[in-house]
A and B are shown apart, each in its own frame.
Chain A
């Protein structure tokens, strides 16, 4: 309520649309992220390779007999697994490589600040555990001969800085992680104490 109190904990409400069920759940998720994941990727790659091999084989069979129309109708070989579901009906068909390799959409993880272009970090302005406001300078990221400024996307507490100065990073690298639970804690706190924060633009 007092002005000094406001300054030290003057963190705005959480971003709209950011859902976590409870503080405990958020803490659990934080802990999970740091654990190593099972070898899902290798299994998926193996399954994909097998599927592509079967596809190639079936495709070759069809094309080799595709010249004569009669043969096409009576003995076309289409693996039953390849079915495209269109409006309630399953169509037997081949898939294109592009369709098989398409990237499945994943909801963005809002606690991570990621790079959108390969480059390197040349200056870092913040420390782990620091509280930041929207728009604060986090680091200078050099890419395409420009010194790009990375700003904090929202208020919160920085959990960890995942990069070091001079490190060459690819696209999609995690630069900075926010403390999810801290952001939620503040939201819960603000609900309890009915803090009204002035709009800070």
Chain B
């Protein structure tokens, strides 16, 4: 009996020792930098009392460069399982207080272990990155560790939602783990993500730049598009993660937890949001909020490619993905970045059985030499590919403009949208009236006694004849021209019908998205 109690007190002593991480001084330094310690982060993110840690007593087995004399608690990473919103998740958090959170082979072993668990148990994976990078003393073993992590990121991709939270430096090869995951969360002034750091850039190329301007949170949210959610503090970041996870299913074979169906907030009157003047802008997020339950909408990549809006909402209590052109920025055109943003979101929704509602109001693709040279052709093709290959229920509502190639790209009937509705204000045509009239009626305009008046007349003629939804409706390219105030009803009804949709295709190993 006394032997058992001795052993238990020994266990408690060892546990307490390991839980100290890098020691009091290192923890104090971490807090002084404005960052929370790893276990504190997990405690704040997960539901109270649900975290169980594994592999606390892992020891590294490196011998070179004085490593055999170092004892690193848990080898610098905390892994375990717990619950968020009552749903199980797998989580790892790198511990910056232990050897700078550097990744050695046992550190990587712990991470790959929890990734394997997440895949086997089919639960979401959350990775909190806060590491100095590869442990140079362990040499190639560190690289091997990273490789094993990246492979599992890819293996898990599309099976379980993977979330990366960058709460510290994430440099060099380590950035590829977040890049392979589905959603990346960054925090202002704390997240730093880049492949080659400022010192290397300075020594090799002579360019001087500080860490924040090179790969800080704002840079990745506004310029590179690598990050999906921006937070001002770690606390806000954890709230965002919890909100996002409430919309997502645990894996690709189940649906997200359904909530009670709610009506949207009455202040969003859909028929009042879109102006009559086709060239005037409006915020399409207000349209989305007039359609979703409780007007709740979580926007993904809010600060990048603002001319398109993507995000999750609920309709009839079930998660729905929204893709909408945003006329408030760049008139809602499609270009390189917005195509990338939309395509990635569509692929995520398709992988996890989330229906997609597309709200279309775009005048075309953004013209410009910089766009062409940046490959808008290749990037625009991504949207076409993503929509075509998606087999989830796809519903399109054409609000105003749908011209040219963009009409096809934004989930038209031809890309096998299940239901396509158009408002009476819709203009579905090959070109805008002004451009088209100049081409079709060129002869009449040139030969007229008053070319300007003739041009105006022809533009009006074309507008009346073609810039409306009825030409497309007469061919069955759209299913219904609907009253704007009935939009939510029509979408709800379509979602209800297509709940068991099955759409097959020719069997193949996989297609070739235009990467």
Q: Chain A: residues with CB nearer than 8 A to chain B?
A: 62, 66-70, 72-73, 76, 78, 84, 86-99, 102-105, 117-118, 144, 168, 170
Q: Say yes or no: B279 contacts A66, CB within 8 Å.
A: no
Query: Closest approach, in angstroms, between the C-beta of B407 and any C-beta of chain A?
Result: 13
Asked if A70 meets B269 with Cβ closer than 8 Å, knowing A87-B432, A105-B370, A118-B206, the reply is: yes
| Chain B contact residues: helix, strand, loop or mixed | loop
Q: Say yes or no: A96 contacts B330, CB within 8 Å.
A: yes
Q: Give residues 154-212 of B contacting A (CB, 8 Å).
A: 204-207
A112 to B326, CA, bound (A): 43
Asked if A91 meets B368 with Cβ closer than 8 Å, knowing A69-B290, A144-B204, the reply is: no
A171 to B330, CA, bound (A): 31
Q: Give residues 273-293 of B contacting A (CB, 8 Å).
A: 273, 275, 278-283, 285-286, 290
Number of cross-chain contacts by CB at 8 Å: 105
Q: Say yes or no: A87 contacts B275, CB within 8 Å.
A: no
What residues on B are CB-neighbors of A78 within 8 Å?
Answer: 280-281
Q: Say yes or no: A68 contacts B267, CB within 8 Å.
A: yes
Contacting residue for B207 out of A69, A97, A118, CB 8 A: A118
Q: Say yes or no: A87 contacts B330, CB within 8 Å.
A: no
Q: Say yes or no: A92 contacts B281, CB within 8 Å.
A: yes
Query: Closest approach, in angstroms, between the C-beta of A76 and any C-beta of chain B?
Result: 7
Interface code B415-456, partner A: CB below 8 Å = 1, 0 otherwise?
000000000000000011111001000000000000000000
Q: Is B364 in the interface zone, CB < 8 Å from A?
A: yes
Asked if A88 meets B286 with Cβ closer than 8 Å, knowing A93-B329, A95-B330, A103-B370, the reply is: no
Q: Is B140 in the interface zone, CB < 8 Å from A?
A: no
Contacting residue for B363 out of A91, A97, A105, CB 8 A: A91
Q: Give residues 225-277 of B contacting A (CB, 8 Å).
A: 267-269, 272-273, 275
A86 to B333, CA, bound (A): 9
Q: Is B328 in the interface zone, CB < 8 Å from A?
A: yes
Q: Say yes or no: B282 contacts A86, CB within 8 Å.
A: no
Contacting residue for B329 out of A86, A96, A144, CB 8 A: A96
Query: Closest approach, in angstroms, between the C-beta of A158 and any C-beta of chain B?
Result: 26
Q: Say yes or no: A88 contacts B438, CB within 8 Å.
A: yes
Q: Is B327 in the interface zone, CB < 8 Å from A?
A: yes
Query: In this complex, what residue of A is CB-closest to B280?
Result: A92
4 A-B pairs closest in CB distance = A88-B434, A91-B331, A87-B435, A105-B369
